[in-house]
Structure 1
Amino acid sequence: MERMEMAARSRSLTSFAELIHGLESRLLNASFGGHNLTLRTHTIQTLAFKLGCNFTGLSLRSAALEQVPHVRGGQGLGVARASTPEILRGLKAQVPLAMQFPAELTRDACRVHSRELSLICICFSNTRFFQKDINSSVLNNYVLGAQLSHGQVSNLSEPVNISFWHNQSLEGYTVTCVFWKEGASKHHWGAWSTEGCRTEQPSPSQVLCRCNHLTYFAVLMQLSPAPVPAELLAPLTYISLVGCSISIVAALLTILLHLHARKQSDSITRIHMNLHASVLLLNVAFLLSPVLALPPVPGPACVALAATLHYALLSCLTWMAIEGFNLYLLLGRVYNIYIRRYVLKLCALGWGGPGFLVLLLLAVKSSVYGPHRIPLSDSQGNSTGFQSTSICWVRDPWVHGVLVMGFGGLTSLFNLVVLAWALRVLHRLRAREKALGPRACWDTVTVLGLTVLLGTTWTLAFFSFGVFLLPQLFLFTTFNSLYGFFLFLWFCSQRCRSEAEMEASSSSQMVH
């Protein structure tokens, strides 16, 4: 085993599978006089023992459990229940670990092989043999696995229970039970997966994994965002549902009105319609996201929807920035600007840019998308353990920070700068041409309404802390769920203004 560890440092990642399978094979086929065999290095500890077909279940615990007051009974690793065949001693883990095997474990194997079976347990205290997850770390760096001779063990009706303890409270962290799935990654010999495993948290420092198969198990841990108060989940969900539904109807109506009068459309109107289309896609994807994140459903459909939702948000933010840029050109160039195939180039940026980023993420590692757990807190602000709600969304905090919060912050900042500059320009215009005072005021209101709706409400996302959390939750949810409706009101006001100007121009020509 020592030579295996030294060789692992110099061999490629693809050789890890051969090393681990070789260790498993030697342990499963080992002959030893007693009922169990224990081998130990600095980072790998193994335990092998014999089972008969009269197996009735087994509980294994590390010696460190003696120091945990809420764990009953046991001395050493192999403290079995009264009905189990052996009392075992072995693993000297620095933190408590435990595994509980059901009687069903040997049932299928004994139908084919009536002779003695071998069960091995392997504990890695270093994750070098396993691919690191990009959005979380392995709890205590422990990977605990088990294998049974004569075939794979899967689809158990009574799960295998694996317990991990930490020396501190895990409140404030999102913990997820995972198993090592071979062949699930193109760049490694496997990847972490949650299929067939359920996560529970009996106490703040314990994580209980209930899995219906045997393999290598671990707990992925990542820092949780500020938890949402549980009592606010229902009203926030209701506001989102009503607001997004209204925005969907408003966006559809706006696009239909535009298509009806498309002969009169110009580049400015077409830019607005692309923004409405991105808002429509964003609201539809957001409403479907919690539905596909329900426990029986998460899978490829949830990953696809999460990628679609991320794409829609990036597109919406990009079109917001395009609106600000277009406003700068209109006012800065005094309505005298021509760019060849201007709208086509903007569409390539507004739709193609986000699409390229999302496809790149899917190609590099699709696991950045999937079910994202939103933790909830009780009335005192304490985390409620695993009481949470889930949506199909970005799971990697780095991607979320850079491509969501970072990009959204830059868009909001850019539009705020354009807003301040546009108001200054219009203020100067009103001061110089007093006769155009009412028109200048109208322009100020128009620019203010357009740019605020295209940027400033998203800045509320950066105030989700401390005393700002509760007001931010309601304001952000209300304003941004109704975003499509506000754009519809602005579209109607601009159309009414355009028709009023056309009537005034026709009346003036008739008088002359």
Structure 2
Amino acid sequence: MDLCRVLFFSLGFLTCLGKMAMTPKDLLFFMETMEQPRSRKPSVRTGHIHQLEQLLLNVSFPGHNLTLQTRTIQSLVFKLACNFTGLSLSSAALEQGPQLQALHTMQFPAELTWDACSRTRLAELRLICIYFFTNKFFQDDSNSSLLNNYILGAQLGHRPVNNLRDPVNISIWHNQSLEFYTLTCVFWKEGDSQHSQGGWSPEGCRTEQPSPSQVLCHCNHLTYFAVLMQLSPAQLPTELQAPLEYISLVGCSVSILASLLVILLYIHDRKQSDSIASIHVNLHVSVLLLNVTFLLSSTLAVAPVPGVACTALAATLHYTLLSCLTWMAMEGFNLYLLLGRVYNIYIHHYVLKLCALGWGVPALLVLLLLTVKSSVYGPCTIPLVHNQENHTGFQNVSMCWVCSPVVHSVLVMGYGGLMSLFNLVVLAWALWALRRLRAGQKAPRTQACRDTVTVLGLTVLLGTTWALAFFSFGIFLLPQLFLFTISNSFYGFFLFLWFCSQRCHSQAEAKTEMERISSSQMTTH
């Protein structure tokens, strides 16, 4: 028997499990061996956790509950019946000022046992809770920071528990100053290979902060939970959430209608269209798709939908944004050719090649991300600052978007920055060319107004207002939020106005040309 225990604890084999009855003393010894320095391979750490779960589900002990405690691990086992009415667990109390506050609590609803009891008639169900006060067993690729380094896990029997209508509530108290941090309730999602242990995901969890020292998590499943801490240089005040959402909703809706109208007009006049009109309509299609997916993303992030749907929508939103930015750059490139070659443009399959770049390159980037690591897309939290009884706290709003900070920096801010910089250079060059053209000329007031409209139109066409995203800091934050939201949610509508002005200008030029030809023919006769 002693030899069997030595093999079990030193090598982690479960072959001896059926030959002996595990006791709480054996389990405590196993938990102590888990704390010792071990292999750093993710598969080994995950294997130890799964072994501990199996041992807790099969350990023999008198009474209705069992508690085992080591320096960094605490295990609890409860025997439940089908008449379970709920359970609330609290850690040891910690003195914080005049009141006593618990370090953490877990509240399990009565619904927890419904599914298991409806399938089979069991005399006993086992609920196990494993608390880790270190993150060495849960290390992701980003080396994420966790609040208090707490990981609180729970499991009911051998079956997974998902989609609870009445969620599990987890509260964690702290005494840290988290003014510049975003706090997000997450669960541990195991990796699908031996080289990747897994990562933290907010799917199925909702975050609240009832007070500056408490984080409350509402999760609809059982697994290992924690509170993720992420540096957030700027938070959005809660008071601005409603007006910004209203502006976005109205602006995106108006832009969708405007883009649809332009696309329909293009289809109607397709026989008279040229390459410039084709580029414009591709930009309108990308703006239309971007506005539609943006409006859907915030809706599906809070709705009870599968994680796959949110991942797909986040990837689609990222693709449409990259496509929109790329087509803005295509507009800048086309403007450069128009001014540089003085309307002498002929490139074989010009529009087809631009379509391959405008739609193909973003698709390749997004598909590559989905293939390599699809977890970069999903529910993403946006921190909001709010005042509650003269205390500053945080509240999170979710949307389906890019969850990885690295991908967001490189393939959102970096990509958008390059496109905006290119178009700003083209715009500056176009203004210089226009000024050189007007040099020495005493232009009438109508010509000056027309030039002003041209400059504003080019500014909109090239999407240079997207550069406002790089001014979201310090005293620029609040003005930037409103300017960016107004200019870019109504971007499709502004493009529509530019399209109408160009259309009217073309018709006026055509009418003037027809009148000139008619008068010349009358003079000849």
In the alignment, structure 1 residue 305 sits paired with structure 2 residue 313? yes
CA 1:15–1:246 in 2, change beyond 3 Å: closer, same or farther?
Answer: same
Map residues 247-396 of structure 1 onto 2, 5 A cutoff. Answer: 247-297=255-305, 299-378=307-386, 383-386=392-395, 388-396=396-404
Give the drift of 1:274: 0.8
Work out whether 1:38 is the aligned partner of 2:46: no
What is the distance in 1 between the residues matched to 2:386 and 2:47? 48
Q: Secondary structure at the match of 1:226?
A: coil
Matches within 5 A, 1:188-203: 188=196, 191-194=199-202, 197-203=205-211
Aligned length: 485
Q: Name the residue aligned to 1:24.
A: 53
1: CA distance between counterparts of 2:98 and 2:162?
Answer: 31
Indicate conservation of the 8 Å contact 1:183/1:189, yes or no: yes
Q: C-alpha separation between the residues in 1 aligned to 2:156 and 2:267? A: 65
Match of residue 237 from structure 1: 245
Contact 2:203–2:307 (Cα < 8 Å) also in 1:
no
Task: Return the letter of the residue paired with 1:236.
Answer: L
Shift of 1:32: 6.6
Structure 1 distance, partners of 2:284, 2:513, is 30
Moved more, 376-385 or 192-201: 376-385
**Relative to 1, partners in 2 of residues 1:377 and 1:185: Cα closer, same or farther, differing over 3 Å?**
farther
Give 1:505's match in structure 2, choosing from 499, 507, 513. Answer: 513
Distance, in Å, in 2 between the alignment partners of 1:269 and 1:155 is 50
Q: CA deviation at 1:324?
A: 0.9
Deviation at 1:139, TM superposition (A): 2.3
Which ranges in structure 1 are unaligned for 5 or more consecutive residues?
Answer: 75-95
Q: 1:261 to 1:37 in 2, by over 3 A?
A: closer
Q: In the TM superposition, what is the alpha-carbon distance from 1:496 to its structure 2 partner?
A: 2.3
Q: Distance in 1 between matches of 2:427 and 2:203?
A: 49
Q: Matched residue of 2:172: which SS? A: strand
The question of 1:68 aligning with 2:77 is answered no
How far off is 1:210 after superposition? 4.0
TM-score, normalised to structure 1's length? 0.80
Instruction: Supply the distance in 2 between the matched residues of 1:297 and 1:372 (Cα, whole angstroms).
Output: 15
SS of residue matched to 1:122: strand
The percentage of aligned residue pairs carrying the same residue is: 66
Is the 8 Å Cα contact of residues 229 and 379 (structure 1) preserved in structure 2? no
2:227 aligned with 1:219, yes or no?
yes
Q: For residues 216-253 of structure 1, what are the alpha-carbon distances to aligned partners after superposition, in whole Å with 9 as ceiling and x for unaligned?
A: 22122223463333333333222222222222222111
Distance 1:106 1:292, change over 3 A: closer
Contact 1:231–1:379 (CA under 8 A) maintained in structure 2: no
Are the aligned partners of 2:460 and 2:491 in contact in 1 as well (CA < 8 Å)?
no
Work out whether residues 123 and 144 of structure 1, in 8 Å CA contact, stay in contact via their aligned partners in 2. yes
Q: Are residues 499 and 49 of structure 1, via their aligned partners in 2, closer, same or farther at CA, if it must alter by over 3 Å?
A: closer
Q: Which residue of 1 aligns with 2:485?
A: 477
SS at match of 1:372: strand
Q: CA RMSD in A?
A: 3.8
Deviations 1:154-180 (A, max 9, x none): 676765543323330334433222333
* Alpha-carbon contact 2:186-2:228 (below 8 Å) kept: yes
Aligned 1:73-152 pairs, distance under 5 A: 96-100=103-107, 114=123, 120-130=128-138, 132=140, 134=142, 137-147=145-155
CA distance in 2, matches of 1:255, 1:149: 57
For 2:414, give the aligned amino acid.
Answer: G
Q: Render the CA deviation track for 1:252-284: whole Å, top value 9, x for unaligned.
A: 111121122212222122111111111111122
Provide, for residues 399-435 of structure 1, a one-character-per-residue CA deviation record: whole Å limited to 9, x for no partner.
2222222222222222121111122223223337889
Structure 1 CA distance for aligned equivalents of residues 258 and 164 of structure 2: 50
**Per-residue deviation, residues 115-167 of structure 1 (Å, max 9, x unmatched):** 7x766543334434335275953323332224455766667676554332333
- The amino acid across from 1:40 in the alignment is T
Q: Which moved more, 1:371-380 or 1:148-157?
A: 148-157
> Compared with structure 1, are the counterparts of its residues 327 and 173 closer, same or farther at alpha carbon in structure 2 (3 Å cutoff)?
same
**1:86 counterpart residue number:** none
Aligned 8 A contact 2:317 2:401 in 1: yes
What is the Cα deviation at residue 346 of structure 1?
Answer: 1.0
- SS of the residue 1:450 aligns to: helix
Question: 1:490 and 1:51, CA in 2 relative to 1: closer, same or farther beyond 3 A?
Answer: closer
Name the CA shift for 1:10/1:410 in 2 (closer, same or farther; >3 Å).
closer
**Residue 497 of structure 2: aligned partner:** 489
- The residue that corresponds to 2:39 in the other structure is 9
CA 1:416–1:40 in 2, change beyond 3 Å: closer, same or farther?
same
Task: Compare 175-184 and 331-340 and name the one that shifted more.
Answer: 175-184
Query: Secondary structure of 1:9's partner?
Result: coil
Residues 152 and 376 of structure 1, relative CA distance in 2, 3 Å threshold: closer
- Determine helix, strand or coil for the equivalent of 2:94: helix
